[in-house]
Amino acid sequence: MPSLSEGVGKSEFLLRNIFKIDDEPNFTDLPHTCLCQKEHPATVLSRQVSAKSRELADEKKRTDQLLHRMLPRSVAEQLKQKKQVEPEFYASATIYFSDIVGFTDMSARSSPHQVVDLLNMLYR
């Protein structure tokens, strides 16, 4: 009578042949992942879903930070909720125009970070 480990080995061999699995792990290949790690498919899927959910949450956080840098928070939140942003009335407003002599040439010779640092230094 074959031992339990021999039975598992034969089952693994048959599954590898049925699913055409090689020895290189490919985490998009659920049967292979389960065989290599000797885990239940639900456990493997749960771990993969958790990892993708963390990636999605991180990307959403970065997107929100960028949006809040470009727009006032109230406007950004209304846009995220797919609401129409109502215009606001101000009794007076100031518009500031400026020109930096040689900016085009300077920015062409500088890295993006250097350009941003320069503008921050001038306008903060």
More confident residue, 61 or 10: 61
Rounded CA-CA distance 124/121 in Å is 6
Domain residues for the domain of 117 are 94-124
Under the banding of pLDDT at 50, 70 and 90, the label for residue 62 is: very high
* Mean pLDDT within 55-84: 90
* Mean pLDDT within 26-47: 65
Does some domain include residue 123? yes
| Percent of the chain with pLDDT strictly greater than 70 | 69
Does some domain include residue 5? yes
Does some domain include residue 76? no
Does some domain include residue 84? no
Query: What integer best gives the mean pLDDT of the chain?
Result: 79
Instruction: Give me the pLDDT at residue 115, please.
Output: 92
Does some domain include residue 105? yes
Does some domain include residue 98? yes
Rounded CA-CA distance 37/1 in Å is 27
Does some domain include residue 54? no
Does some domain include residue 69? no
Tokens 């230094």 correspond to what residue?
A: 121
Count of other CB atoms within 10 angstroms of residue 32: 21
Q: Give me the torsion for CA of 52, 56, 62, 68, rounded to 10°.
A: -170
Structural domain tally of the chain? Answer: 2
More confident residue, 39 or 77: 77
Q: Is the pLDDT of residue 30 over 60?
A: no
Q: pLDDT tens digit string along 73-124?
A: 888 999 989 999 988 888 998 888 888 999 999 999 999 999 999 998 988 8
